[in-house]
Amino acid sequence: MLRSILGSFSEDLGIDLGTANTLIYARERGIVVNEPSVVSLNTRTNQIIAVGRKAQEMVGRTPGHIIATQPLTAGVISDFEVTEKMLKYFFEQIHKDRWGMVPRPRVVIGVPLDITEVERKAVADAVIGAGAREVFLIEESMSSAIGARLPIKEPVGNMLIDMGGGLTEISVISLGGVVTFKTLTVAGNEMDRTIVQYMRDRHNLLIGAQVAEQVKIRIGSATKLDEILPMEVRGRDLVSGLPHEQLIHDTEIRECLARPLKTLLESVNDTLERTPPELVADIYERGIVLSGGGALLKGIDRLISSSTGVPVRVTEDPLTAMVRGAGEVLEHLDDYREVLLPIASME
Does 297 reside within a domain?
yes
* pLDDT of 347 higher than 90: no
CATH (domain of 39): 3.30.420.40
Edge-to-edge strand ranges of the sheet holding 158-163: 177-184, 168-174, 158-163, 288-291, 312-314
Instruction: Dump pLDDT digits (tens) for 218-250.
Output: 999 999 999 999 999 999 999 999 999 999 999
The three-class DSSP label of residue 144 is: helix
Q: Mean pLDDT throughout 142-164?
A: 96
Q: Which residue has the higher pLDDT, 28 or 268?
A: 268
**Together in a domain, 279 and 158:** yes
| pLDDT value, residue 102 | 67
Does 271 reside within a domain?
yes
Q: How many CA atoms lie within 13 A of 322 on its CB side?
A: 34
Name the residue range of residue 240's domain. Answer: 149-315
**Together in a domain, 129 and 247:** no
- Nearest CA to 324 among 108, 83, 11, 35? 108
**Together in a domain, 58 and 184:** no
Instruction: Dump pLDDT digits (tens) for 172-182.
Output: 999 999 999 99
**Together in a domain, 81 and 214:** no
**Together in a domain, 276 and 337:** no
**Together in a domain, 124 and 58:** yes
| pLDDT value, residue 213 | 95
**Together in a domain, 306 and 168:** yes
**Together in a domain, 166 and 311:** yes
| pLDDT value, residue 74 | 81
Q: Is this model's pTM higher than 0.85 or not?
A: yes
* pLDDT of 8 higher than 60: no
- Nearest CA to 232 among 215, 254, 255, 208? 215
| pLDDT value, residue 5 | 46
| pLDDT value, residue 98 | 63
- Nearest CA to 153 among 327, 335, 341? 335
Percent of the chain whose pLDDT exceeds 90: 77
| pLDDT value, residue 95 | 83
57 close to 35: Cβ distance less than 8 angstroms: no
* pLDDT of 9 higher than 70: no
* pLDDT of 2 higher than 70: no
**Together in a domain, 291 and 184:** yes
Amino acid identity of residue 57, one-letter, is E
**Together in a domain, 95 and 161:** no
Q: Could you tell me the pLDDT band of residue 7, with boundaries at 50, 70 and 90?
A: very low
**Together in a domain, 179 and 276:** yes
Does 347 reside within a domain?
no
Instruction: Dump pLDDT digits (tens) for 284-312.
Output: 999 999 999 999 999 999 999 999 999 99
Instruction: Dump pLDDT digits (tens) for 321-343.
Output: 999 999 999 999 999 999 999 87
Q: Could you tell me the pLDDT band of residue 58, with boundaries at 50, 70 and 90?
A: confident
| pLDDT value, residue 306 | 97
Instruction: Dump pLDDT digits (tens) for 94-121.
Output: 887 765 566 789 999 999 999 899 999 9
**Together in a domain, 34 and 133:** yes
Angle at 175 (CA atoms; ends 327, 263), nearest 5 degrees: 80
